[in-house]
Amino acid sequence: MRGIAKLLFVLGFIGIFVNGEAQTNRLKRANALYDAGGYFEAIELYRHDLDKVAKEEMGLYLTKIGDCYRLIGNARQAEIWYSKAILRDPPDPRVYYFYAEMLKMNEKYDEALEQYQKYKQLVPNDPLTDFGIQSCDLAKKWMESPSGYEVLNMRAINSKQSDFSPAYLSDDYSVLLFTSSRNEATGTKNHAGTGEKFTDIFITQRDKKGTWSTPRPLDGNINTPNDEGTPSVTANFNKIYFTRCRAGKRNKLGCEILVSERREQGWLTPEVLPLAPDSMVVAHPAISADELTLYFVSNIPGGYGGKDIWKVTRNSPSDNWGEPVNLGPDINTRGNEMFPFIHPDGTLYFSSDGHPGMGGLDIFRAKAKESGNGWEVENMRYPINSPADDFGIIFEKDREAGYFTSRRHDSGTRGGDNIFVFYLPELIFNLLGDVKDEKTGMPLANATVQMVGSDGIIVDTKTDVRGNFKFSLNPATDYVLIASLKGYLNGKGRETTRGVQLSQDFKMSITLTSTARPIELPNIFYDYDRWELRPESMAALDRLVEVLNDNPTIIIELGAHTDSRGTMEYNYELSQKRAQSVVNYLIEKGIPTARLRAKGYAQSQPKVVDEQLINQYPFLTIGAVLNQQLIDGLSDDNQKEMVHQINRRTEFRVLSTDYKPE
């Protein structure tokens, strides 16, 4: 950030490190500039006489140079000078923290973590350390899984200097205001803190071919030789709120918010809004669509740390503004919260270096809680955010698109801060599925597949000869799919596109169970010689309840089978009671009694070995009947017990499909 943007970080800044005895007049001037926020000019003076600094003060002055580079937004040079300072016994351990911060902003997250840990050893109770460590972990995660936004550098309007904080000046988004320190800005002097010209508000317009005009300073009485910038325009585009910062003694600067109305002859002379005492910083306005709330940034007493976001309200656009109200700890932190933008839907966007982020300033989205008390704050993640400073975002009213500012370094950046365009591409989701026989795995052609969405949409299709089907899905929607085919129980699947931010194809396979043969219920357990269901059986029976609810016209028989031990008469009675206990459980779960039959089979229907059993018990032979004769032929007692266990089972079979629910 440069000029008016960087100003809020350094305004009224008190040097973190105590000045040593300056050995030369040049170092004295450098220290005075440092204390006044003239960091750009101080750098050259420090570097020129660095060889004249006493050995015991070298760590201090190397740190000061690192501070200057950090505070003008040059993280790369700041990293270099902090690393030098650490080798020369700096007087304050916070140099390790700032070194870690610069490494983070230069996307060296693992190295940054090491420096945070070193700082934590020296200053174990500083919560900023854990905050930095958390930010590094989140940044790596977000870069591996970016959001769906596309981001492009606005090369057509960016200059070799700093360009930032755009604002719309037309309802078709073809006219854009922004802040710039380019050579065409008013005045002849350079800013001692940034080395660039004082900023002005510029205007550019897009023609029908999509080409942006050469930016020019905004007409009228807006721009002066001081810093002007961070414009916010009313919904009717007839008023502009903006920041002006004036230079004073020893290069100290003060900021205030002004408002100007547009007439046929142009913008009228701006008026200062008396929002806070003259000694306070007031900057970065954001006017709501109804013009009844003005958000701004300030260091008014009663805040939470550095610069906070505040608001003032009024009952009508012609009323005076009320007293400033801090947005509270959900928004404001020990760090700096800046560059607010209020969306017409009430969502607040802002930048912060005090919430967990990727490095420097990150852009955040905040929505008021349903209770009306506080905010839900969310990081916009990568690629809206980057390891560098990201701020000054604006949105179109009805589309996830707009502009923002970033100091990121890529092949298209020019100068310090650049304006980027972003948009959320149309998300395309397809569901590619198939329907198969559960037992054989063979595809089932001509099965009906119905899809029900949480958005109220219901569609259906038929599977092709390979059992395949396809649906298009909508974003942020939950889906239930039900597959059906005569002779089979209905099958079900679920899918969701909620939280999915990139176009993709989803895959699903639905298996259907044939009603032509009994269907075993796995994991139905009883104690020895008892018929009461054990607790671990409930999960399997709850799945049966779901099957019955998904197939509301079927009537089933619950059959219980015992092993061959015990008399036939006794086992018939035991198995009947076991089958009835399952029926009773289903009735308790709301299944109509008319849909259920209980039957005990004792040991009269031993299991026939199929491929599934062969996979579990390779000592068996496919097609074999697990009767007493087979069991007696086994020499291994463990194998005999396994066969008895296989025969002890609970099954259901479909008796009819013509039940009519009341």
Q: Give the integer Cα–Cα distance in Å for 87 and 36.
A: 28
The distance from CA 94 to its chain's CA centroid, rounded to whole angstroms, is 31
Category of 602 on φ-ψ map: left (φ > 0), alpha (ψ -120 to 50) or beta: left
In order of 382, 541, 637, the CA distances from 390 in angstroms are: 11, 55, 73
pLDDT digits (tens, 9 = 90+) for 75-133: 999 999 999 999 999 999 999 999 999 999 999 999 999 999 999 999 999 988 998 99
Instruction: Identify which of 392, 337, 7 has the alpha carbon closest to the alpha carbon of residue 168.
Output: 392
**In terms of domains, do 497 and 588 share one?**
no
Instruction: Identify which of 20, 59, 53, 27 has the alpha carbon closest to the alpha carbon of residue 42.
Output: 27
Classify burial at 13, counting beta carbons within 10 Å of its beta carbon; exposed 0-12, middle 13-18, buried 19 or more: middle
Residue 75 lies in a domain: no
Q: Give 145's DSSP letter.
A: S
**In terms of domains, do 284 and 380 share one?**
yes
In order of 206, 283, 322, 409, the CA distances from 310 in angstroms are: 34, 10, 12, 31
End residue of a domain, out of 496, 512, 528 = 512
Q: Give the integer Cα–Cα distance in Å for 313 and 291.
A: 9
Residue with more model confidence, 371 or 58: 58
pLDDT band at residue 249 using 50, 70 and 90 as cut-offs: very low
Write down the residue that tokens 């591996």 correspond to.
144
Q: Give the integer Cα–Cα distance in Å for 389 and 97.
A: 18
**In terms of domains, do 640 and 550 share one?**
yes
Listed as own residue / partner, the contacts of 247-251 with beta carbons closer than 8 Å and 24 or more positions apart are 250/32, 250/35, 250/36, 251/33, 251/36, 251/37, 251/38, 251/192, 251/193
SS3 539: helix
CATH of the domain at 434: 2.60.40.1120
Note whether 273 and 291 are within 8 A (CB). no
pLDDT of residue 253: 58
Residue 135 lies in a domain: no
Q: How large is the angle between the packed helices 25-36 and 58-71, nearest 10 degrees?
A: 40
Classify burial at 206, counting beta carbons within 10 Å of its beta carbon; exposed 0-12, middle 13-18, buried 19 or more: middle
Structural domain boundaries, residue 164: 150-423
Q: Go through the chain and tell me how many residues it has.
A: 662
Does the pLDDT value for residue 558 go beyond 90? Answer: yes
Residue 127 lies in a domain: no
Note whether 387 and 105 are within 8 A (CB). yes
Q: Give the integer Cα–Cα distance in Å for 26 and 39.
A: 14
CATH of the domain at 588: 3.30.1330.60
Residue 473 lies in a domain: yes
pLDDT of residue 327: 97
Does the pLDDT value for residue 12 go beyond 80? Answer: no
Q: Give 472's DSSP letter.
A: E
**In terms of domains, do 307 and 158 share one?**
yes
Write down the residue that tokens 């580079």 correspond to.
69
pLDDT of residue 246: 83
pLDDT digits (tens, 9 = 90+) for 583-593: 999 999 999 99
Q: How many helices (H) and strands (E) does the chain have?
A: 13, 32
**In terms of domains, do 222 and 340 share one?**
yes
178: β partners = 202
Q: Give the integer Cα–Cα distance in Å for 563 and 557.
A: 20
- Phi and psi of 247, rounded to 5°? -85, 140
Residue 309 lies in a domain: yes
Classify each residue of 52-76 as buried b or exposed e, where b means 16 or more C-beta atoms within 10 Å of its C-beta. ebeeebbbbbbbbbbbbbbbbbbbe
**In terms of domains, do 271 and 321 share one?**
yes
pLDDT of residue 248: 55
CATH of the domain at 173: 2.120.10.30
pLDDT digits (tens, 9 = 90+) for 271-301: 999 998 877 899 999 999 999 999 999 999 9
DSSP output for 573-588 = HHHHHHHHHHHHHHHH
Note whether 450 and 481 are within 8 A (CB). yes
Does the pLDDT value for residue 501 go beyond 50? Answer: yes
Note whether 232 and 242 are within 8 A (CB). yes
DSSP output for 175-241 = EEEEEE-STTSSSSPBPTTTSSBPPEEEEEEB-TTSPBPPPEEPSSSS--SSEEEEEEE-TTS-EEE
Q: How many domains does the chain have?
A: 3
Residue 20 lies in a domain: no
Classify burial at 448, counting beta carbons within 10 Å of its beta carbon; exposed 0-12, middle 13-18, buried 19 or more: middle
Q: The whole model's pTM is what?
A: 0.72
Intra-chain end-to-end CA distance of the chain, in Å: 71
Lowest-confidence pick of 232-246, 363-377, 403-417? 403-417
**In terms of domains, do 411 and 476 share one?**
no
**In terms of domains, do 246 and 362 share one?**
yes
**In terms of domains, do 298 and 336 share one?**
yes
Q: Give 281's DSSP letter.
A: -
End residue of a domain, out of 399, 423, 447 = 423
Residue 586 lies in a domain: yes
**In terms of domains, do 223 and 312 share one?**
yes
**In terms of domains, do 158 and 200 share one?**
yes
pLDDT of residue 23: 62
Note whether 100 and 119 are within 8 A (CB). yes
Query: How large is the average pLDDT for residues 360-366?
Result: 96
pLDDT band at residue 19 using 50, 70 and 90 as cut-offs: very low
- Cis omega before residue 387 (within 30°)? no
Mean pLDDT rounded to a whole number for the chain: 91
pLDDT of residue 451: 97
Structure tokens at 50: 């660095």
Residue 17 lies in a domain: no
Structure tokens at 271: 């008026």
Q: Give 661's DSSP letter.
A: -
pLDDT digits (tens, 9 = 90+) for 411-441: 666 668 999 999 999 889 999 999 999 989 9
User: Does an H or E element contain 508, and which?
Assistant: strand 504-512
Q: Give the integer Cα–Cα distance in Å for 255 and 8.
A: 9
End residue of a domain, out of 512, 542, 574 = 512
Q: Give the integer Cα–Cα distance in Å for 245 and 119.
A: 36
**In terms of domains, do 227 and 362 share one?**
yes
Torsional sign, CA 510, 516, 521, 522: negative
